[in-house]
Amino acid sequence: MIKLIYIIILSYFLAGGVGFYFINRQKAPQVARKSYTKFGVYFIIINILFFSIVINPVYFKYLSVIIIGGGMLELFFLHQTTGYKNKGVFLSSLLVFMVLSYGLFSFSKLSKELILFSFLTLSIFDSFSQITGQLWGREKIFPNISPNKTWGGLAGGSAVALLSAILLRNLFPGSLFELLITVAGIIPSAFAGDLGASYYKRKYLAKDFSNLIPGHGGILDRFDSLIAGGAWVSLCAWLFNI
């Protein structure tokens, strides 16, 4: 089963690579190089997280702690580098982050199958919303907060994630109805997490939280959707007792 899932992941990455080729072939070489770097680093990150779950979920728990700690430091540092401005934004964002972080840590303690199912659904939504958005996205959703997000990207990412979740339903420990409710919440949660992180950066006039991850920025730039989506899944696991 795990071998089949990994083959599916590789197939998705192959499809994504083709999509990035068509996206980048008309761009300047420097811009295209940055895009391919981002794609390659993302492949490495997905593999690290995937095998941390498959080999022993306790490794994923350790990674979750690193993500939470690193994300909190990035919130502080960005606030600090701007002279501690927008204290209200900082404090409210910190409170939301702490609540979501508790949810992510609770998520990291769920069953291996549920963690893997949710992680794959989140990753597929995240990656294909970017790819379909760049290929076919025209109308921007929140241009002043996150100018790269389009209705086409949201629709494309949501469709691929939902179909993939149904394909992976053997990993989900609950009923089909519970699966659909969980996925129906994963998508907007991941989107909202990404949007919230973008809003925070705009308030502090920053493009990225840091330069820690090549092509991606900081920990929160890469894992904002995982934090929010994981928190939603932990809530569903509690509600459905799965």
More confident residue, 102 or 34: 102
Interval 192-203: pLDDT, tens: 999 999 999 999
End-to-end CA distance of the chain: 20
DSSP-assigned letter for residue 72: H
Instruction: Give the C-alpha separation, 122 to 196, whole Å.
Output: 16
Contacts of 138 (CB under 8 A, 6+ apart): 150, 151, 152
Q: How confident is the model at residue 66 (pLDDT cuts 50, 70, 90)?
A: very high
Count the domains in the chain: 1
Q: How confident is the model at residue 15 (pLDDT cuts 50, 70, 90)?
A: confident
Closest CA to 169 of 109, 114, 104, 108: 114
Enclosing domain of residue 233: 2-240
> What pLDDT sits at residue 82?
85
Using a pLDDT cut of 90, give the percent of the chain over it: 63
Asked if 160 contacts 181 with a C-beta cutoff of 8 angstroms, the reply is no
Asked if 67 contacts 119 with a C-beta cutoff of 8 angstroms, the reply is no
More confident residue, 9 or 200: 200
Backbone angles phi, psi at 204, to 5 degrees: -110, 15
Q: What is the mean pLDDT of residues 76-97?
A: 92
Closest CA to 107 of 242, 224, 231, 223: 231
> What pLDDT sits at residue 227?
97
Q: What is the pTM of this model?
A: 0.91
Least confident of 14-28, 31-45, 97-111: 14-28
Q: Which two tokens stand for residue 208?
A: 């990225």
> What pLDDT sits at residue 181?
95
Which residue carries 């490495």 as its tokens?
A: 44
Interval 38-60: pLDDT, tens: 888 989 999 999 999 999 999 99
Q: Does 216 score more than 90 pLDDT?
A: no
Helix, strand, coil % in the chain, rounded to nearest 5: 80, 5, 15
> What pLDDT sits at residue 13?
83
> What pLDDT sits at residue 164?
92
Q: Which two tokens stand for residue 223?
A: 């894992």
> What pLDDT sits at residue 25?
78
> What pLDDT sits at residue 146?
85
> What pLDDT sits at residue 39?
85
